[in-house]
Amino acid sequence: MILLDTNLLVRMTDSGDPHCAAARQAIHALFARQERLVIVPQNLFEFWAVATRMAGPPPTGQNGLDMTPERAGQWLRFFQRRFTLLPDREELTARWYDLVKTLAILGFRSHDARLVAAMQSYGITRLLTFNTGHFRRFPITLLDPGSL
């Protein structure tokens, strides 16, 4: 199993993103290898936040995709059809807290720790992400979409 990071989902939905093709090609390559690609509820929450935010850099924009709620909802349904959605497990909060405490995770990186905690709760060791630097402190295997 391979967990997909939200940045991969965001990039694959934005044809104007320079990493869109790499994201889509990585997904196709992994499916061709018969890999099981999974997402967790946090991916859906994070995608919605980015997809429905205003486009453009601050201060006028918010680095979002400026999608309508309808369009963002279409993508959420697509993700759930294409990838396996694993529900949050009861131990997720305790695993997350252990990670942030042990690794002294602060601020926004706590979202990354939550994804890793979800991975741990399912025994998933691999993460497909463009943001490998965000996850280097965690005991997981990082897969860069550009290298597949």
Q: What is the pLDDT of residues 64-105, one digit of tens each?
A: 888 999 999 999 999 999 999 999 999 999 999 999 999 999
User: Does any domain span residue 115?
Assistant: no
User: Does any domain span residue 141?
Assistant: yes
Cα torsion angle, 94, 98, 101, 104, sign: negative
User: Does any domain span residue 99?
Assistant: no
User: Does any domain span residue 81?
Assistant: yes
User: Does any domain span residue 59?
Assistant: yes
pTM: 0.93
Of the two residues 114 and 60, the one the predictor is more confident about is 114
The total of structural domains in the chain comes to: 1
DSSP assignment of the chain equals -EEEPHHHHHHHH-TTSTTHHHHHHHHHHHHHTT--EEE-HHHHHHHHHHHTSPBSSTTT--SB----HHHHHHHHHHHHHHSEEPPPPTTHHHHHHHHHHHTT--TTHHHHHHHHHHHHHHT--EEE-S-HHHHTTSSSEEE-GGG-
CATH of the domain at 64: 3.40.50.1010
The arithmetic mean of pLDDT across residues 17-40, rounded, is 97
- Structural domain of residue 135, as residue ranges? 2-89+123-147
The arithmetic mean of pLDDT across residues 141-145, rounded, is 97
Quote the pLDDT of residue 108.
Answer: 87
User: Does any domain span residue 117?
Assistant: no
